[in-house]
Amino acid sequence: MEELQKALNDGRSLTVSTLPNKGRCLFTSRHFSPGEVIISQEPYVAVPNKNSNDSSSRCEWCFSTRNLKKCSACQVVWYCGSTCQKTDWKLHRLECQVLSKVEKGRIKSLTPSIRLMVKLYLRRKLQVEQVIAMTSTDNYGLVEALVSPLGILLTQTYLFCFVLLLP
């Protein structure tokens, strides 16, 4: 929580506190106008969410819906071009190895939530191995500061992914 507070201490009058029954909350001591950006940060990990009503896929990196091509190895992830594919490669390389081993009939069981948890684990692994850089505002400590029972979710995700890989 201290790291998050340090990241917010740049003159924006923002603080983070935890409230019972509400979890972590962002507070301000000044007025913000409608439409004014209060805070902006790239997500630690992200996965396009495909709704049941949405027949179109999205680029794994920029979420574009144009000129999409599937990853030739895993046939699950889509990219709009080589720039997005190359930018995402350090993380997708490991995910791709796992997705390639999942039986075709079980691919639909890989919900965006499950893929998100797998990417969360893989990003942390790559940061520990110093394959992906860790910055003051992009670190796992901020993810661990979330109120949700992350450890339980990760354990359930590992088990589910293991079951998917069974013949």
Identify the domain containing residue 115 by its residue range.
Answer: 41-165
Tell me: do 33 and 61 sit in the same domain. Answer: no
Instruction: Encode the chain (167 residues) as per-residue pLDDT tens digits.
Output: 566 666 666 666 888 888 888 887 888 888 889 998 887 777 888 998 875 455 568 999 999 999 999 999 998 899 999 999 999 999 999 999 888 888 888 887 788 888 888 888 888 888 889 888 877 666 566 566 655 555 556 656 655 665 555 44
Contacts of 139 (CB under 8 A, 6+ apart): 3, 127
Q: Within 13 Å, how many C-alpha atoms sit on residue 130's CB side?
A: 0
Tell me: do 160 and 88 sit in the same domain. Answer: yes
Tell me: do 36 and 107 sit in the same domain. Answer: no
pTM, two decimals, is 0.66
Helix (H, G, I), strand (E, B) or coil at 21: coil
Domain count within the chain: 2
Tell me: do 53 and 21 sit in the same domain. Answer: no
Reading the block at residue 112, the tokens are 């965006």
Measured at the CA of 156, the angle between CA 51 and CA 43, to 5 degrees, comes to 55
Q: Are 102 and 135 in contact (CB under 8 A)?
A: no
Cα–Cα distance between 94 and 91 in angstroms, integer?
Answer: 6
β-bridge partners, 23: 19
DSSP state of 60: T
DSSP string covering 14-75: EEEEEETTTEEEEEESS---TT--------SS------TT------TTT---SS-EE-TTTS
